[in-house]
Amino acid sequence: MDIEDLPGVGPAIAEKLREAGLNSLETIAVSSPAELVATAEIGEATAAKIINSAREAADIGGFETGDKILERRLGVGKLTTGSKSFDDLFGGGLETQAMTEFYGEFGSGKTQIAHQLAVNVQLPSEKGGLNGSAVMVDTENTFRPERIKDMAEGAELDYEDVLKNIHVARAYNSNHQILLVEKAKEMAEDLKGTEKPVRLMIIDSATAHFRSEYVGRGTLSDRQQKINRHLHDALRFSDLNNAVVMITNQVMVRPDAFFGDPTRPIGGHIVGHTATFRIYLRKSKGEKRIARLVDSPNLPEAEAVFSVSKIGIRD
């Protein structure tokens, strides 16, 4: 069922809803009548009717018993970064069924890590991989097949095979980015049961388009709402596919900070609360980088040093 199939939603209203990120039955089901009134320019009664029908049709999920959750948790996989000390921060690698955010200034290594994970996910589990393929939403046009080649060779893999299992889409704006996550879900569905199911989704950068499109304070809460919805979509992807979701986020300098680190991640709390793990990256001497685990449900705050070398991420 599509959102057009909801009573009261014609093509024009559907387009307005999609533009505002209300692109599925689930997102409409959990929206408020006031939100719908404002985005689709409809009356409150119609809005209420649309939301009620969406609630009936949507897959809202439900309660699960603890033993079922434990069973699912036992299926959690770990994906290596290529560096032992970096992996140790996560207790052995990035977890599936979770979203990990990497934030840091330019050149801190976010995109290099994304490339490395897209290679490593293809490794067998004995080597720290998930024996799967990767989808990458590239919002800054920084995907470089040449870097994949370097890293594949570093991992003793055939680079041509490796490139075939990395599905890259360039996102031109935030709405496009949101739709590409939907597309990624379809692709993952198609690749389920094949030799290389999708076990990694990368959004690099998750926040850049939102940041440049929503300028000025008036639109800030709009922006946060949209990012929030987008990230929950991404998080859902990790559950549906037992996949690692890796997102990147730039930091911006806070001019009003007199003490401590004057940077803070864009998207602020919304991103922070949705990501399961948060890693703050800083540059150090030469190829060295410092990663700090900032937020995790079950691991202590800690730091690790790794390096970005020609053949990829290493100790």
CA dist., res. 315 & res. 308, Å (int):
9
Q: Which residue is listed with tokens 């069922």?
A: 1
Residue 142 vs 309, nearer CB to Mg ion = 142
The answer for residues whose C-beta is within 8 angstroms of residue 264's C-beta and 6 or more apart is 251, 252, 254
Residue 93 vs 104, nearer CB to Mg ion = 104
Residue 195: CB minimum distance to Mg ion, A: 30
Residue 258: CB minimum distance to ligand GTP, A: 25
Task: Name which of 89, 163, 132 is nearest 242 in CA terms.
Answer: 132
Give residues in contact with ligand GTP (CB under 6 A): 104, 106-112, 250, 287, 308-310
The answer for residues whose C-beta is within 8 angstroms of residue 38's C-beta and 6 or more apart is none
Residue 112 interacts with Mg ion (CB under 5 A): yes or no: no
For 38, the enclosing helix (H) or strand (E) is helix 33-40
Residue 267 binding target from Mg ion, ligand GTP, none, CB below 5 to 8 Å by type: none
CA dist., res. 51 & res. 56, Å (int):
9
Residue 46 binding target from Mg ion, ligand GTP, none, CB below 5 to 8 Å by type: none
Residue 51 vs 155, nearer CB to ligand GTP = 155
Residue 44: CB minimum distance to ligand GTP, A: 43
- Would you call 51 exposed, middle or buried from its count of C-beta atoms within 10 A (0-12, 13-18, 19+)? buried
- Hey, which residues between 203 and 242 contact Mg ion (CB under 5 A)? none
Residue 250 interacts with Mg ion (CB under 5 A): yes or no: no
Per CB under 5 A, residues contacting Mg ion are 110-111, 142
